[in-house]
Every structure is written in structure tokens, then in C-alpha cells.
A = this chain, B = another copy of it.
């Protein structure tokens, strides 16, 4: 497999993708971009995964219909209003697609449409009707425009989130770039928060969907900020083939493996960035489970640990309360021998043993404090039952999480 490297950029890193992001007036604050537009020069293979929440935003229904044939060419996404639980939601989402066709030439039926923000707030098409021409006129291949798109989909995010990777297939330089948003209502289930990925790799729609579906379970589905699965989660990939490699169709090929590994690296990095920017978060909390018998066991435990409100509060307080890790393992639903479990806390400052064979071991509070005061905390859970590993990403629970969500609508 060829080497895969992180490169600068986001959705415009791959060949043939233009982007734009402006303030069209969904938000009251004029200094915040609120609509992102991403367009491929040619029709692209498209793959999506969606929220499993029974309540689904109207844009999800429209996007599903539009990508049913495995192809798409444009993405439009607004922040400031989730267009969910509104009686005329589908009409609005279809109206957005129609305006994309009018001003970019991409067919309305080739548009991926998404919305994020408050649920159940009436939404108007007016800002799109009056502003989409300007937004489309601003479309460009430059990295700066990719960043504008990343900024336009932010809600309570404090930083915009862009990642890109480069690699070689068939001697051709290939790239994948992605942007995502999400710092609250984050607990993707068989899907994810909003994430838009572009690639110039030539790959069939079926192989692209297989690559994405294979990656989501170990990346976005292992991310939790607050245990709340959003109604509008979506991750989508457009691959337009402009890198010029032979079209990847065989999911057992080396080329597919390279593409999927690159996609996984990109998604893992986005997860890490999103968890660290979780609402109110001061620390990234990662849990690695090793030595599991099955992937299900490893994932159940890793996610249960990063979701525990008690452990998250202790991480905020840099308190080595490892008993809460054991407790979260115990109620995770995983079938393991708790008397074989080891727990260690780690950070850049070092590693410290907390628990061996399910029982506490003596440790220096001072040393533990030193490790836990860092901004990236790792909890290592060793099961000694097999060789399967899994990782989950989360963050600490802070005063600011409560503050942000105490009056989110105003």
C-alpha cells in the first residue's frame, strides 16, 4: 500500500471541487457565514450515511432521494436552523436544491442538502432565494473558499474543522478532503454529525458506499459529546474521478484498501478534532480498549467510558477517579470478566496504573494530577481476553456545556 499523508486543505483539496460560504441571513448575526455550497466540476459517485434517530430532518429525506442513483454533484448546507419538525420542511429543502440548479447548473436531483441548528423553528426559503446567486458566484477552487464552507456549517463549534489526505493510486496523485461540524447533540448512531467529504478518486458508487460504511462504525459512531443522537446527522462523500486512476470497483483490491485507509485516517482525525471541540470541553478524552474477544465488546466498553457523565466531570476536575471507569465498563452491556480488567490513565506527561485484575493499585495522587491536567487524556482499558481493539472519542463535562445549552435558542 502506498503511503498516505495528511495535507493542508479541506473540501477543495481534491481536484475539481469548488466551494463557497457566506452569510445569507438564516442567522441574525451578520458576521457569521450561514450557508455552504460545494460543487464538483463533473457528476461524482456519492455515498451517504444518515442518523438513525426516528425523528429525521426534512433535508435527510430529500438527500436520500437525490443520491438513490449513487451520483451527485453539489452540496448545500445551512446552519442556524435544522429544518426539522417543520410542517413545510421538505418543500424548503427541495427549494434549496432547485436554487442550486438555477445558479450552478448541477441538476436539483444531484444535490445533497443539509441543515443544522435549532429543531422545530419555522424556516423560510427567502434568504436562499435572494442570496444564492451571490453564493454561487463566489465558488472557487482555493483553500480559502473551502475554509469559508467549513465556517458556514458551524453552530456552537469554536473552530472550523477541515482535514485532507493525499496518496497515490495507479501512479496518480489522489486526494480526499473533508469538513465537519458538531460540538453538541453528538452521539452518532450508525451515522454521524454533519460531515462533507470530497475526493478526486475514480471509484464506483457501490465501492464508495462500501468504503464509507466500513469506516463509519469505528470512527463517527465512536464519538460522543453528550450522548444525544442528533436528528440531522449525515456524512457524505463525493468522488469525482478527476485524479485519473482506473475506476475502483473491486472492494477486495489493493486500490480499494488504500482509498478506505485514507478515508479512515481522515475520519479519525475529524473525530478527534470534533471531540476536542465538544461543547464547553477543555479536554479531549479518548478511551482505547485492547485485548477484547470481539469488536462489539471493545466498542461497547470504549463508548460507555467516554459517555459517562461522572467520568467526564472527573476529567474536568483532573481527578483520578478510576472507579468510574470500572463502573462504566460494568454497565456497558459487554460480557467480560471484570476480574481481569486493567485500567491506566495516560497523557503526554506519562502513564499511570490505576487498576489491575479489577482491583485498585496504590498510586501517587500528585503524579496522577500531573498527568490529568494535560489537555488530551487517554484511558487505556486492557481486558486480557483476546486481541481486538477499539477506540472512542469524547470530552470532559464542564460548566460551559451547561451554560451553552441552558439558552441555546437565544
Contacts and interface: CB of A to CB of B under 8 A. Distances in A.
A104 interface: no
**Max chain B Cβ within 10 angstroms of own Cβ: one of A331, A355, A401, A410:** A331
A323 B405 contact: no
Nearest to A52: B331
B327 A53 contact: yes
Interface in A308-338: 308-310, 313-314, 316-317, 319-324, 326-332, 334-336, 338
Contact of A319 (B52, B227, B406): B406
Interface stretch (A7-15, A92-100, A113-121, A205-213): A113-121
A331 B54 contact: yes
A35 to B, nearest CB: 21
Contacts of A360: 85-86, 120-122
A226 interface: yes
Nearest to A405: B313
**Max chain B Cβ within 10 angstroms of own Cβ: one of A53, A310, A360, A399:** A310
A118 B324 CA distance: 9
Contact of A406 (B53, B314, B331): B314
A323 to B, nearest CB: 3
A120 B359 contact: yes
Nearest to A54: B330
Contacts of A3: none
Contact of A119 (B53, B326, B338, B403): B326
A332 B2 CA distance: 43
Contacts of A316: 402, 406
Interface stretch (A126-134, A159-167, A228-236, A344-352): A228-236
B310 A226 contact: yes
Interface residues on A, range: 35 or more
Contacts of A366: none
A185 interface: yes
Contacts of A410: 319
Contact of A327 (B231, B310, B323): B231
Contacts of A335: 54
Contacts of A406: 313-314, 316-317, 319
Contacts of A323: 82, 84-85, 118-121, 231
A178 interface: no
Contacts of A355: 85, 120
A382 B172 CA distance: 58
A219 interface: no
A63 B329 CA distance: 23
Nearest to A122: B360
Contacts of A307: 227
Contact of A55 (B86, B122, B326): B326
Interface of A: 52-56, 82, 84-87, 118-122, 184-185, 187, 189, 226-231, 307-310, 313-314, 316-317, 319-324, 326-332, 334-336, 338, 354-355, 358-360, 397-399, 401-410
